[in-house]
């Protein structure tokens, strides 16, 4: 009798569990249930845009829904990020961008259209440094030459725009050395590199992928990289730390953000599929071609990393008097 009662209770428990499980599954619709918009908040053709399209192709294949990259540039990434922050928090609109929207802009803009807390990290996909390069007509061939020339004359440096990594890097360079610099913002990394090529500016501290092809044919003279490790594509270049300027180390984080109220289950599914996509051979090849290093950081670790970078960059903005103008 006891055995029969236990058997009955066990069967009831299994039945109840199945019923509850079925109810929970029914209550939460499958994701994605429609095409997913991936907002890249910078112009087409830059590293974040290229990476977004590479990952989107894999996600569309594995999750059986279109993942469409839409470029919404402007205000150092604020316009695109604001679009995502104000979207429905169901995982069907995501931000594929870089950290500076959250680590520099809040210190640079008196009025932000959104608060950093309106979005949360899904995953930090990859990181990279920047490349410091100058036009050959400057006669600068080494970082030492840059220091010598920069003491006696003002040097113009292009960037991908106000609040961009290159803007911060140029400000840090001027703050940490006797070099006199003037920041010249452009609308994206490609126009900023073009300005160096044309001799419109003396140089730039810009995304490595856009600079290297021109370095390799002698149209830009490369001096150093800002990453903690040497570039895989140009290992002959010293890091700024090797030059005795560790304070100039800077990395760019390529990340995916979602509206803060996005369900954890959706975020976790995205984390799993995006990190899997980043490990695919074709995406690894793309990372290598862009000189990006795989990260795969999620959850509290990603949030803390962004907070630490924001604190550091905020101090730089205050010390250098950087503005969004």
pLDDT tens for 254-270 read 999 999 999 999 999 99
Given a contact cutoff of 8 angstroms between Cβ atoms, the answer to whether 125 and 255 are in contact is yes
Alpha-carbon distance of 244 to 39, in angstroms, equals 38
pTM of the model: 0.86
Closest CA to 105 of 252, 264, 310: 310
**pLDDT: which is higher, 11 or 72:** 72
Judged against a pLDDT cut of 90, whether residue 26 lies above it is answered with no
According to the model, what pLDDT value does residue 187 have? Answer: 87
3-state SS class at 119: strand
According to the model, what pLDDT value does residue 46 have? Answer: 86
Parallel/antiparallel/unpaired status of strands 67-71 and 221-225:
unpaired
Q: Is 188 left (phi over 0), alpha (psi -120 to 50) or beta?
A: left
Share of the chain above pLDDT 70, in %: 91
According to the model, what pLDDT value does residue 203 have? Answer: 98
Give DSSP secondary structure letters for 29-60.
--S-SS-EEEEE-S-TTSHHHHHHHHHHHHHH
Give DSSP secondary structure letters for 276-299.
HHHTSHHHHHHHHHTT-EEEEE-H
Instruction: Report CA-CA distances (Å) from 235 to 162, 249, 291.
Output: 29, 16, 11
Which tokens hold the place of 179? 């070099």
Judged against a pLDDT cut of 60, whether residue 19 lies above it is answered with no
Which tokens hold the place of 148? 């010598």
According to the model, what pLDDT value does residue 28 have? Answer: 56
According to the model, what pLDDT value does residue 323 have? Answer: 84
Which tokens hold the place of 308? 């630490």
3-state SS class at 105: helix
Q: What are the backbone angles phi and psi of residue 96, rounded to the nearest 5°?
A: -110, 105
Provide the CATH topology of domain 130-248: D-Maltodextrin-Binding Protein; domain 2 (3.40.190)
Judged against a pLDDT cut of 90, whether residue 158 lies above it is answered with yes
Given a contact cutoff of 8 angstroms between Cβ atoms, the answer to whether 199 and 137 are in contact is yes
What digits encode the pLDDT tens for the residues 36-92?
999 999 989 889 999 999 999 999 999 999 999 999 999 999 999 999 999 999 999
Confidence of residue 148 (pLDDT cuts 50, 70, 90): very high
Instruction: Report CA-CA distances (Å) from 5 to 9, 10, 49, 141, 261.
Output: 6, 9, 62, 87, 45
Judged against a pLDDT cut of 60, whether residue 10 lies above it is answered with no
User: How large is the average pLDDT for residues 126-134?
Assistant: 97
CATH architecture of the domain 36-127+252-320 equals 3-Layer(aba) Sandwich (3.40)
Common-topology check for domains 36-127+252-320 and 130-248 = yes
What digits encode the pLDDT tens for the residues 273-295?
999 999 999 999 999 999 999 99
Q: Indicate the average pLDDT of the chain.
A: 91
Closest CA to 57 of 96, 101, 17: 96
Identify the bridge partners of residue 180 per DSSP, sorted by sequence position: 154
Judged against a pLDDT cut of 60, whether residue 17 lies above it is answered with no
Instruction: Report CA-CA distances (Å) from 55 to 41, 49, 50, 102.
Output: 16, 10, 9, 22
Q: Report angle CA 146, 194, 318 to the nearest 5 degrees.
A: 55
According to the model, what pLDDT value does residue 35 have? Answer: 98
User: How large is the average pLDDT for residues 168-194?
Assistant: 92
Which tokens hold the place of 220? 């830009």
- How far from the centroid of its chain's Cα atoms is residue 25's Cα? 34
Q: Where are the domains of the chain?
A: 36-127+252-320, 130-248
């Amino acid at each position: 009798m006891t055995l029969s009662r236990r058997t009955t209770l066990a069967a009831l428990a299994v039945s109840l569990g199945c019923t509850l499980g079925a109810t929970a599954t029914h209550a939460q619709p499958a994701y994605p249930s429609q095409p997913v918009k991936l907002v890249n908040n910078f112009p087409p053709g830059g590293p974040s845009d290229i990476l977004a399209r590479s990952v989107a192709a894999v996600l569309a294949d594995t999750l059986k829904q279109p993942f469409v990259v839409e470029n919404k540039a402007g205000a150092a990434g604020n316009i695109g990020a604001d679009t995502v922050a104000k979207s429905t928090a169901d995982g069907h609109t995501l931000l594929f961008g870089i950290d500076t929207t959250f680590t520099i802009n809040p210190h640079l803009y008196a009025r932000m259209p959104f608060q950093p807390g309106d979005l949360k990290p899904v995953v930090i996909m990859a990181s990279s440094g920047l490349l410091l390069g100058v036009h050959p007509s400057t006669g600068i061939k080494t970082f030492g030459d840059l220091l010598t020339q920069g003491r006696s004359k003002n040097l113009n440096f292009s960037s991908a725009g106000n609040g961009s990594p290159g803007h911060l890097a140029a400000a840090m360079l001027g703050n940490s050395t006797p070099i006199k610099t003037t920041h010249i913002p452009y609308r994206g990394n490609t126009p900023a590199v073009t300005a160096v090529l044309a001799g419109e500016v003396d140089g730039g501290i810009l995304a490595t992928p856009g600079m290297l092809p021109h370095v390799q044919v002698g149209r830009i003279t490369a001096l150093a990289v800002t990453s903690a490790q040497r570039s895989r594509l140009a290992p002959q270049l010293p890091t700024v730390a090797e030059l005795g300027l560790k304070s100039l180390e800077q990395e760019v984080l390529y990340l995916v953000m979602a509206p803060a109220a996005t369900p954890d289950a959706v975020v976790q599914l995205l984390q799993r599929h995006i990190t899997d996509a980043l490990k695919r051979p074709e995406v690894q090849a793309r990372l290598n071609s862009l000189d990006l290093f795989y990260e795969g950081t999620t959850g509290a670790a990603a949030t803390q990393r962004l907070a630490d970078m924001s604190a550091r960059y905020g101090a730089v903005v205050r010390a250098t008097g950087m503005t969004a103008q």
